[in-house]
Structure formats: C-alpha cells, structure tokens
Amino acid sequence: MQWKNHRITTFAVTYALTGSFPATAIATASSMLPDALEMKLLKHRTMTHYPWIFLIPIVFMWSAMQHSPGYALYTAFFIFFGYLCHLAEDFMSKSGIPLVSPYGKPTGLGLYVTHAPSEFRVALSIVALAVAFSWHNGLLTQDYLMHAANNMAVLVMGAGKNLHR
Ligand SMILES: [Zn+2]
C-alpha cells in the first residue's frame, strides 16, 4: 500500500477504535515506519514487515497499561499500534507479508494490488467502515469532537509546561 493510503486508513481506524486525537496522531505518524525503517537497505517487506516481532511487545504494553497508564507507555503503545496497522494493511494485498519467517514466502489476502485501482477501493472501504463505526459510536458529533480537541489542547499545554520546568 502507498504511504498516503496507509496514513488515511490508519487515521480512520485508530480514531474509530479510540476516539482520541493524540492516539490517532501517533499511530498515523508511525504507520509509515515499516517501510521507512527499511531505509532502502533491507529487502522490501521482510524483517520490518514480520508481524510477530511487533505483536509480542504490544501485548505486554497493553497489559502494563491496564495496571499503570502513563504518557510514555501510551505513546509507545500507539507507535506499535500504527506500525501493526501498516502490516495489517499490507497483509490485505496480493503480495502480502511474511508470516512464517522474516525472509520466508509472503502471505496476503489478495484484496488489492498495490498501485492498482483495487488499492484505492480497499482503502476507501476501510475508511468508510471506520467512519460508519465512529458515527455509530458518537465519535463524530460536534460535542464529542470539541471535547476531544479540548483534551488534546490540555495535553499539549501540559507537555509544554513540563518542558519549561
Ligand atoms: Zn509496507
């Protein structure tokens, strides 16, 4: 999947699941990481697209977050979450991602071919589903959006204050 589609689908899905602006911003930014980390050195869709390496830490982070939530853990969790969204999105393609070993044969659902019109259709379907889900759960009402924006502002100002201390 192309970066713009990774960004827009991860944005829509994370918002639908969290209703949080900070979580959505972090995951959207990190949704480019699996390709960016290849730095044109690694073979495309190998080590950085092997999901299990990233799935195990996120499960630990999730359980740690239930006991002691904090900014650092929250940020790390959503970095990994955005990362895994990218892998899930690539998994839907015909070329897929490696599931057995990092350099093994890739597996994919075959729902789209990268750069073909089918990629756009799949991205659009994911966004439409996420928007419908958000709408259904009241995450797109004016009241909710104002409330979420306010929370984000409080968070950013709080972080700013801590930096100046
Ligand atoms: Zn990728």
For 16, the token pair is 């639908």
Q: What does the pLDDT look like over 67-111, one tens digit per residue? A: 988 889 999 999 999 999 999 999 999 999 999 999 999 999 999
Whether 46 is covered by a domain: the verdict is yes
For residue 38, give every residue at least 6 positions away whose Cβ sits within 8 Å of its Cβ, in sequence order, or none: 44, 46, 48
Distance 143 CA to ligand 1 centre (A): 36
Whether 127 is covered by a domain: the verdict is yes
Distance 112 CA to ligand 1 centre (A): 14
- The vertex-161 CA angle with 155 and 165, nearest 5°, equals 145
Share of the chain above pLDDT 70, in %: 98
Report how many domains make up the chain.
Answer: 1
Residue 165 reports pLDDT greater than 70: no
Share of the chain above pLDDT 90, in %: 87
Whether 79 is covered by a domain: the verdict is yes
Distance 11 CA to ligand 1 centre (A): 16
Distance 35 CA to ligand 1 centre (A): 5
* Domain containing residue 46: 3-139
Query: CB neighbours (10 Å) of residue 56?
Result: 10
Whether 40 is covered by a domain: the verdict is yes
What is the C-alpha to C-alpha distance for residues 154 and 11, in angstroms, rounded to an integer? 21
pLDDT of residue 160: 72
Distance 88 CA to ligand 1 centre (A): 9
Whether 145 is covered by a domain: the verdict is no
What are the backbone dihedrals phi and psi of residue 97, each rounded to the nearest 5 degrees, phi first? Answer: -130, 160
Whether 151 is covered by a domain: the verdict is no
Whether 158 is covered by a domain: the verdict is no
